[in-house]
Amino acid sequence: MIAYTTIGTADIEKSKAFYLALLSDMEAMIVMDTGRLAAIGTPAGGCMLAVCTPYNEEAATPGNGSMISIAPGSKALVESLHAKALELGGSDEGAPGQRMDGFYGAYFRDTDGNKVCFCHFG
């Protein structure tokens, strides 16, 4: 149902580089780039992540209570991608672990402060 999720950035090039490097194991690529907004997707299609400088030209800020969740396909990928996010300059918001029956997650903030979760259901 969701086509894409957009998060703001203060530095579009830095944000594109962060997410392309972070999601490289999922074969992520820029599927659309307008200069102000870049949509990142995979060869399989589906939901995309877009990074952009705000249209109103005000500062990009992370939303309070807003979070993006990405399901890479396994607990092992949740763990390795969380570690990779930290290596790329993200900050830890919750180490990988079982949160409840059927949900395994790991949380971080990207270089702009946006909160992201890698998760695995099952």
pLDDT in tens, 16-52: 999 999 999 999 999 999 999 999 999 988 899 999 9
Query: Backbone phi, then psi, for 42, in 5-degree steps?
Result: -125, 165
Alpha-carbon separation of residue 75 from 79, 96, 100 (angstroms): 6, 8, 14
Q: What's the pLDDT tens digit per position in 63-119?
A: 888 999 999 999 999 999 999 999 999 999 999 999 999 999 999 999 999 999 999
In the chain, what are the domain boundaries? 4-55+67-121
- pTM for the predicted model, two decimal places: 0.91
**One-letter amino acid of 108:** F
The DSSP H or E segment spanning 50 is strand 48-52
Q: Can you give the pLDDT at residue 2?
A: 83
Residue with tokens 């705000």: 54
Q: What's the CA gap between 47 and 26, in Å, rounded?
A: 13
Q: Can you give the pLDDT at residue 64?
A: 85
CATH superfamily of the 4-55+67-121 domain:
2,3-Dihydroxybiphenyl 1,2-Dioxygenase, domain 1 (3.10.180.10)
